[in-house]
Amino acid sequence: MSENVLLLMSGGVDSSVAGAMLIEQGFQVVGATMKQLDAEPTREMSGGCCSFGDVRDARRIAASLGVEHYTVNTAPEFNQKVIVPFIRSYEAGLTPNPCVRCNSFVRFEEAFELARQWGCDRVATGHYARVFVDEDGEPHLMRAAYREKDQSYYLYGVRKDLLKNILFPLGGLTKPEVREQARTVGLATADKEESQEICFTLGRSYTEFLAGRVESRPGPIVDRRGNELGVHQGLTGYTVGQRRGLGLSGGPWYVLELDARNNAVVVGTKEELGERSVTATSARWIHPPVAGDRVLGQIRSRHVPAEAVVTNVDGSLFTLEFDEPQFGVAPGQALVVSRGDEILGGGMILPPRRVS
């Protein structure tokens, strides 16, 4: 007897091919697209799975695959658990990662609730990642074979009990192979361009989205000693590690910190930017490490995981000591811990403690 699978369809080529692969493997597939914004899709809206084109494409692909498709309203949960924390983080001078929060608290939580209601045994997506369940029934989240598209960084916070029933059909494929499969099957999304934007900004930059939602006031640009070097036009326009666009003489200068309390951008040299000890909070573990373990730490999605030692694991807090200084450690981003190709878990980076 075949298993029933709920496939989350974004309207892109990845989820389209995932659906075709699942059907070929004998699964009974039901497609669902999550409507994450309190707005009706229009032809003018762009970005993410709430755009007119993406919802339309998801329906078209489902029809071509011969599967049922539903559009489900998850806007209230998405607003409360992703958009509001995104705004609050910028108000606090942090650099949030909304995709991590969505996967951890909305996308898969809501998907499994739907799956239970619709009699589906598993949930599948077009993410580039891999999961296997060992002989003891323990799930293991692994990096995708195709490292250029690996999305395991964004998935560390998915609950362990859900992870064991998730399918990532694309985990062993490259992007060119996915597009070729789409052409072979005749999927309309085979050559569709990918969106690199935050879904809820609808084609705008994140600074444009935050305008009117976060108070943005000019303030000082200072060095570590408090010397004023220039003026910034609002903290939301800056990111830790940023070098260009500071408008300062001398240097080169790098953004070291966003001081929300004093509405100041703190800058310094590249040497000052490097951090070896990084602490994170709100930890979520699939397989928790212990103090003394050697691991890999990843401080942002495009960061190459670096060698580190776990120096502390205490409830929701943990600290990694990297072998070499890491540059551009931005509070609010995710610190993801792995051992080889296996993702162990992660948490949200805290501002470093400075000795006065």
* 13-24 helix and 175-185 helix, angle to the nearest 10 degrees: 70
Kindly compute the dihedral angle of the four CA atoms of residues 240, 246, 252, 256, in this order, to the nearest 10 degrees: -20
Q: What's the Rg (C-alpha) of the chain?
A: 21
Catalytic member of 49, 50, 120, 199: 199
Closest residue by Cα to residue 305 from 266, 341, 331:
341
Closest residue by Cα to residue 305 from 151, 146, 95, 153:
153
Active site annotation includes 99? no
Active site annotation includes 49? no
Catalytic member of 50, 99, 102, 120: 102
Query: In angstroms, what CA-CA distances link 232 with 244, 262, 303, 332, 338?
Result: 13, 12, 27, 21, 37
Judge whether 269 and 254 are in contact, CB under 8 Å: yes
Closest residue by Cα to residue 30 from 110, 103, 127, 123:
123
Parallel, antiparallel, or unpaired: how do β-strands 264-268 and 219-222 relate?
A: parallel
Q: Write the DSSP string, 44-98.
A: T--SGGGSHHHHHHHHHHHHHHT-EEEEEE-HHHHIIIIIHHHHHHHHTT----H
Among all residues, which ones are annotated catalytic?
102, 199
